[in-house]
Structure 1
Amino acid sequence: MYKTKCKLYVMALGGCLMLTECKAPAVATSTASNPTVPGSFNTSTDTTNTATVKWRQFFTDPKLASLIDVALQNNQELNITLQEIAIAKNEIRTRKGELLPTVGIRAGAGVEKVGRYTSQGAGDASTEIAPGVEMPDPLTDFTIGAYANWEVDVWKKLRSAKKAAVARYLSSVEGKDFVMTNLIAEVANSYYELLALDNQLAIVKQNIELQQNALEVVKVQKEAAKTTELAVQKFQAEVLKSQSLQFDLAQQVTETENKINQLLGRYPQHVDRSTDDLLGMAPAIVSSGVPSQLLANRPDIKQAELDLAAAKLDVKVARAEFYPSLGISAGIGYQAFKTSYLFRTPESLLYSLAGDLVAPLVNRNAIKAAFQSANARQLQALYNYERTILNAYTEVVNQLSNSDNLSKSYALKAQQVDALNTSISVSNDLFRSARVDYFEVLMTQRDALESKLELIDTKKAQLMSVVSLYRDLGGGWK
């Protein structure tokens, strides 16, 4: 019987060693070439990059800076991301603990009654623990001791898992920075949108006063039989249209304020903001630097890179599952059927030491499936990394072009507004002298109002484009 057991153990150990020499499936690689980042966004190779400027220095409006401060403290999405960092940090501790032995203390008590006419019962009946004293029946059992289990990390499976957890923790930190960058940009863009609405509302109110004055002139001319009731009604309709637009803009102001309040994690309330003329605000000058700097400045690119590193380590962990694992277990303590005998040494002393070498044999298909899934996730992470770089470069190029075109458009629209402002006073003078029809005066006022509103929209788009370019270059999280 003893020889048979020895043969079985030797065969199992031999099988494990044979499987150790077996090769695991090869790691899949991407057939796509890694994208090469162009040398520049345009013809400039200047390495000066606005992304390195801290957001407090970039946004000089103190009221905007105050709003951003509140958002960074109270925004729910950002706080959720901070908890994800805490979770990732605890995962590192978990993986680190798996590298160390598991040590515990065990204490137990029990009672057992076996049949007298069995091999164990008959042996107990013939055993004397003292002259004339047999084994107690039923038999109690008391145990106290310490035990330890340790998986020896022969194939670096546990260490790779810990490194993957570290990479994911660093990835979550970059994810927090990316959320912060987008949050700052969103607050700033909403702030400029609110300022634009304030300025448009002021222009509409001024235009209503001009239209009402023109309406009074038309009424006087009608009484003097110089015009008709049709002209009066047309001017009246234009005044009503502008008054209606005033309330539409007021609603947009309320909604934009509430959007900012939501970003700041607070209930709807008035948003303190600048009262300066939006058209007098000069967009900040942004230096784009060179595309290679995106790899260091953009948190989403660094996050994708760390996710790729973690995915590669996951493949190593899955590959190590094909090889035998070595476990060591040990224990020491005392055991007796009576408490008074429990700590007698060496009679009640017990100890054990064992090593196990276990390799997969029947379940290799399941391990192979897990390995292939890890391989696929690694390729996903690689493609995501390539896509993130391409997307970042495209966003910067689009915003650079947008900023340039908006600057040219604004200059032309400003000239248009100046021309229409002049035409209003000219048309009013000509109308009073009955040299132009009232319809021309109406159309001139309407065109002037629309051009002023469009000019503010263009200025708003300019300011928002600068904010978006600052974000796309990777600024805002420092």
Structure 2
Amino acid sequence: MQKKIIYKSLAATVVAATFTACSLPGVVQRAENKNTPAQYAAGAVTDTTSTAATKWKEYFADANLQELINTALTNNQELNITLQEIEVAKSEIRARKGEYLPFVSLGASADVTKASRNTTQGTLEHNLEIVPGKENPEPLPNYMAGLRANWEIDVWKKLRNAKKSAVNRYLASVEGKNFMVTNLVAEIANSYYELLALDNQLELVNQNIQIQTNALEIVKVQKEAARVTELAVKRFQAQVLNTQSLQYEIKQKIVETENRINFLVGRFPQTVKRSSGTFASLNPNMVKSGIPSQLLANRPDIKQAEYELEAAKLDIKVAKARFYPQLGISAGLGYQAFNASYLVKPESLIYTLAGDLAAPLVNRNAIKAAYITANAKQVQAAYNYEQKILNAYIEVANQLSKISNLDNSYKLKSQEVDALTQSINISNDLFKSARADYMEVLMTQRDALESKFDLIETKMQQMNAMVNVYRALGGGWK
């Protein structure tokens, strides 16, 4: 009779499981597209050598810049916060691994029970002598000590897939840290080159102040000789004052840029060591782009998105497994007695062993919602992965084009600066001989100053493009 009941229970469970498995919500998963173009530009040479493989200490030769990056990798607060997030993700793996191992606990308890004489239990306790010839203690104490164990048998790999998902999210967090390092290195390098450019602009302004002051003195002499009017003196004086005010604007930008670097390296404001005198002679590194498909391995943000996508796929399996029966085993082993001194006796030994099989049958809305959500997040993760690939490709293509165009622009601006520098001397000579008016001198000085500013700005953009293409290719985190 008892066997028939067991068989009927198992049959009912199997039927419920079959019904459950056959009635999963209909959802659509999405396979990610990893295809990339063969090259970054039409007609480009296909070469698998990539600058991304170069370590940042080799890519950035400036010792002062290297020192700043080294300090930032140790002290930057945001990076250290991310490192703690990695520890959190690592702990999640530990937690998920523990779920598919048996849970064993050691426990002890003591209680006192006074049963009513007008109940079956009370009557039995009153009439039954535990020790012959002695009246049972009332109230009756109960002492127990032993081990308890619970174990969910991972038949559908729900728990193991949850652990694998946690592992992928941990790996994603590591790649997230690598991507942060890449951006941190690039941001410090860009700020450093901006600081060098500002130093050179300040030096240029100081030189022009001297030139304009000398021109102002010449105009004053000519006014005394009645060759020019007071208007010319005032215009030259206004130009000197304008350039002097520009000097303080640049000084403020230098302070702000220094403090931006100080923030990135995790320290309070102080002077940033730098080699400003070498800025004009800096030449951007030669960049080898490799092929677009290498971005999938080199870019930490793409690898992070890939791990998150794999985790999302496993989450679907975990959510799907919740529809199936859950098999659990529980056991207990210990001692129980009404007297503490009897606990060590063999007669006080107790043990239990039980198994249970249960499947959700009615009101599965929460499980369905979790399953649909997991599928939606997988589709979302696939689109995110594709977006990262597309964004990386466009970033590299833009920076490669920028490097080429800036190189041509710098050559032309250098020629412009040479021409305008010569025109300053020419305009001054013509002005002294009364063959040019003072407005021509003023315009020539202003144009020359602007062209030199533009040349320094273009040089900074060249260095920034060198930094940004290195970041776009996936370099900087090694």
Task: Report the TM-score range of the alignment, normalised by the length of the smaller protein.
Answer: over 0.9
Q: Is contact 1:38–1:291 with CA below 8 Å preserved after alignment?
A: yes
Q: Which stretch of structure 1 is more off in the superposition, 364-373 or 446-455?
A: 364-373
Give, in angstroms, the shift of residue 33 of structure 1.
Answer: 7.1
Q: Percent identity?
A: 62
State the shift of 1:362 in Å: 1.5
1:76 aligned partner: 77
Corresponding residue for 1:130? 131
* Distance in 1 separating the partners of 2:174 and 2:32: 28
Partner Cα separation in structure 2 for residue 340 and residue 55 of structure 1: 72
Match of 1:394 in 2: 394
Give the aligned partner of residue 341 of structure 1: 342
Question: How far, CA to CA, are the matches of 1:41 and 1:149 in structure 2?
Answer: 58
1:209 matched to 2:222? The reply is: no
Match of 1:465 in 2: 465
CA–CA distance in structure 1, aligned partners of residues 212 and 408 of structure 2? 31
- Counterpart of 2:377 in structure 1 is 377
The whole-number CA distance in structure 1 between the counterparts of 2:193 and 2:173 is 30
* d(CA) in 1 for partners of 2:212, 2:278: 22
| SS class of match (1:129) | coil
**Equivalent residue runs for 1:404-419 within 5 Å:** 404-419=404-419
Structure 2 match to 1:85: 86
Matched, 1:17 2:20: no
Give CA deviations for 1:308-355 in whole Å, capped at 9, x if unaligned. Answer: 00000000000000000110000111101111222221x211100000
- Which one-letter code corresponds to 1:380 in the other structure? Q
Which whole-Å deviations, capped at 9, do the CAs of 1:134-185 have from their partners, x for residues lacking one?
A: 3221100000111111000000001000110111111111001000000000
Q: For residue 160 of structure 1, what is the aligned residue in structure 2? A: 161
Q: CA deviation at 1:275?
A: 2.6
Q: Does 1:41 align with 2:43?
A: no
- Does the 8 Å CA contact 1:329/1:353 hold for their aligned counterparts? yes
Moved more, 92-101 or 464-473: 92-101
Equivalent pairs counted in the alignment come to 473
Matches within 5 A, 1:160-239: 160-239=161-240
Aligned with 1:130: secondary structure? Answer: coil
Please list every run of 5 or more consecutive structure 1 residues that lacks an aligned counterpart in the other structure. none
- Offset, 1:104: 1.1
CA contact (8 A) 2:148 2:331 kept: yes
User: Which is further off, 305-314 or 361-370?
Assistant: 361-370
Per the alignment, residue 425 of structure 1 pairs with 425
CA contact (8 A) 2:142 2:337 kept: yes
Aligned position for 1:438: 438
Matched residue, 2:270: 269
Q: For the residues of structure 2 that align with 1:295 and 1:260, how far apart are their CA atoms? A: 30
Q: Which runs of 5+ in 2 are unaligned?
A: none
Deviation string 1:176-227 (CA, Å, 9 cap, x unpaired) is 1000000000000000000000000000000000000000000000111111
Query: RMSD of the alignment, in Å?
Result: 1.4
Counterpart Cα distance in 2 of 1:312 and 1:471:
29
- Which amino acid counterpart does residue 17 of structure 2 have in structure 1? T
**Residue 387 of structure 1: SS of its match in structure 2?**
helix
Distance of 2:34 and 2:337 partners within structure 1? 71
Could you tell me how far apart the structure 2 residues matched to 1:372 and 1:12 are?
31
Where 1:360 maps in the other structure, the secondary structure is coil
What letter is aligned with 1:318? A
Distance between the aligned counterparts of 2:253 and 2:38, measured in 1?
A: 43
Following the alignment from structure 1 to structure 2, what is the Cα–Cα distance between the partners of residues 123 and 20?
44
Output the amino acid matched with 1:103: V
Tell me if the contact between 1:199 and 1:277 (Cα under 8 Å) persists in the aligned partners: no
Q: Which amino acid aligns with 2:223?
A: K
The answer on whether the counterparts of 2:32 and 2:385 sit within 8 Å (CA) in structure 1 is no
Amino acid in the other structure paired with 1:223: E
Quote the offset at 1:8 in angstroms: 6.9
Aligned equivalent of 2:450: 450
Native 8 Å contact 1:52 1:475 kept in 2: yes
| Alpha carbons 2:115, 2:121 under 8 Å: kept | yes
Alpha-carbon distance in 2 for matches of 1:326, 1:426 = 95
TM-score (norm 2): 0.97
Q: Which one-letter code corresponds to 2:398 in the other structure?
A: N
